[in-house]
Structure 1
Amino acid sequence: MGVCYGTPDFPTPSFTGYLRSGMKLTISSSSSSAASNSHEASGDVEILAVPNLTAFSFAELKEATNNFQADSVVGEGGFGSVYKGILHGKRHSGRTKTIIAVKRLKPEGLQGQREWLTEIMFLGKLSHPNLAKLLGFCREDGNLALVYEFMPKGSLNNHLFRKGSSALPWHVRLKVAVGAARGLAFLHSSEWKLIYRDFNSSNILLDGSYMARLTDFGLMRPGPEGGRSHISTRIMGTYGYAAPEYLATGHLYVKSDVYSFGVVILELLTGLRVIDRYRAQGKIDLVKWARPLSSSKKKMKTIMDSRLDGNYCIDSAFQIAQLALKCLRRTPYERPSMTEVVEALESIEAASANRVPRDA
């Protein structure tokens, strides 16, 4: 979860259904966010039922994570902590042991409850190879948690920026870019035209073969309906990744996510964080610094991640940089769709595989 700028607006459509356990769960409509706030503040939160999710007991999750031991923590965020755990028994995938990631929410605050509910409502209904797999949830005695399939390679953020981490090879960076683009394109093309709203390198997880899996969907919103171009929301997200029109007006477009994707592409190319106040003046903001240096192959050499040690294809790198610049256009209408981005990246990846990696 990113650095948030306000309290999220929360979609509350009406659904009713049953979990495999037989427990009935419901999300009911509310006429206003104020009504929703009042409802949630009372602790009487109703939940969407999704047949393919499991309702875990808190005792099960305590056992899986060794009572939420500190050495089981694999991630931190505004929502709380993420723990690595092990489920015993053939409960998932027919295996006797299933490694899981348990996102345990802090008990205080409404924001975490809304985001927890949003993930259940949407991710429980969606399935795609490039989305993190939600296995189930827990709501018991004030304890809220989400249970995911564990991603052994961690986040893209850690691979790019954690001190002492080894550099991701060029072909892996291309694979990650393509996978993340496919996941985002899938959300945009779903029946709800979902807007991620917090696409960033921390929310891209990598499985054992470095396939990208998007995660942390608590800020996600259904896109505009009825011919409208945007929805209006309170400004949320992670600093540096949010599109300029969203920051300026609170107007959120499907293509606001495309801007965020362009930022992540620059991070993949340069190995640098989007905002780093420890960098030299003029280089603090990656987008402002790298934009003019992406105009030629010769200039591209000066911003490429030095840890690649020249083991990349400059032709492919330049093409990807040009794609990133299109994604970073200030006007959302001028940006490509994520479907177009996927097609471009797949073409670049295929061409790169047939070339000998070389420096400029």
Structure 2
Amino acid sequence: MKKIVKFSFTLLTALVLSACGDNPEAPPEAANNTPAPEVNTNDPAADEAKKAEEAKKAEEAKKAEEAKKAEEEKKAAEEKAKAEEEAKKKKEEEAKKAEEARKAEEARKAEEARKAEEAKKAEEAQKAKEDETITNTLEGQPNENNAGGLLTPHFPPNDGYSHDECWQEGVCGGEHDMYNYADKYVFKRLEAINTDENSTLVSLTLEGKNIVLSPENQNIHLTQHQLNTLRANRGDIVGYYGYAQLMDNTTAGSTARYIGLVAADPSAYTGRPDNNMQYSGKMYYAYNNRPRNALTGQVSAQYLSSNKQFTMSIAADKTDPYYANSIWELKPQHNQVHIDYEGTINGKLFIKDSIEGEFKGRLYGPDSEVLLGTSKSLEQSSEKSWKGVVGATGTAVQ
């Protein structure tokens, strides 16, 4: 019996050692490598449980993703609705402001139109009043304010104030300030005679004590101009003279023009001077083919009461392309020009012994102290053709 047990133990030991690889050639560590228990992977219940778990997790993840997406869509929709509402409010506010601005602009324009209409009516009423006064004076009988139907600028209706009392600005004041009163009347008469072609290019206005030149419309651009207001010794406006260089854009393209300007109050004709007179002034002129070249000559003139003779010399502009350093002298066919009883002066302009132009003018003012007129070359079709205006003021001399 003992032999059987011993054999069985020996056999079991051999089998265990053999299974563990215990042999003389195996490394020592091999005896300690105990194999892991085998898992049965073919368990249907475990597989089902695993699949169910994975399906549950996938479903939860899907629902979470859908919930997140729904939340994002909700927020986007809310933000869009909010933006649309704000845009709508902004648009309504802008429309409201635009409507208010439109109404305000309409109200402003209506107010301006009302004021303009009132100003127009007031101006028309004032002009009608002035026209009535002028008409009454022109059509009246000769008296201290009316020289035989010709209105004199020196004695307009003045409610008892004489011109000598009110000859300076502010002496009488208000409606009795005859200095301003006379200016308005004189300028009105000057406007009435300003009907030549120049009136379509430039306009004149009375601003303060001066007559001012401006373009007639936006198509006229003044490049250079000069306008002198001439007054009698006691302050009345007698007339004006000057020139304007301009660019005329009223037609296709742009045209350079030069125009001379001169006018006198027809009521200021006074005839020949009673004394010897010395005059000085200017002649503004330009050559017809050089409208951009404005020239200025210096005028010197004398009147002798003893023989009623008038002499005048005009020194050409130093930049004159043809007559620089030359002098035009006013003559008939002899040395002096006779002035008629109305103060009219007509004569030829000589350079030495050659006739180079002509002058037509007149003396104005109560003391014949203002000279105004026009001048031009005899030939108006040549390269040397020119036109000018003359203005001068004089003083009595011994």
Q: How does the TM-score come out when normalised to structure 2?
A: 0.27
Q: For CA contacts below 8 A with separation 6 or more, give which structure has more relative contact order.
A: 1
Q: Point out the structure with max Rg over C-alpha.
A: 2
